[in-house]
Amino acid sequence: MRLDIAGHHDVNLQDYCDWLKSRVKNESYKHEYQKAADFLLEKAFDLDLVYEDQNPGFLVEQGEIEEGIARRFVKDIPLWVKRCRLHET
Give the model confidence (pLDDT) of 17-30 as tens digits.
Answer: 999 999 999 999 99
Q: pTM of the prediction? A: 0.93
Average pLDDT across the chain, whole number: 95
Please, which pLDDT band fits residue 89 given cuts at 50, 70 and 90? low
Domain limits, the chain: 9-88
Any idea which of 3-12, 56-65, 73-82 has the lowest mean pLDDT?
Answer: 3-12
Backbone CA torsion sign across 45, 79, 6, 24: negative
From CA 59, how far away is CA 32, in angstroms rounded? 11
From CA 22, how far away is CA 24, in angstroms rounded? 6
39 in Cβ contact with 69 (< 8 Å): no
Helix (H) or strand (E) holding 35: helix 27-42
Q: How many CB atoms lie within 10 A of CB 18?
A: 13
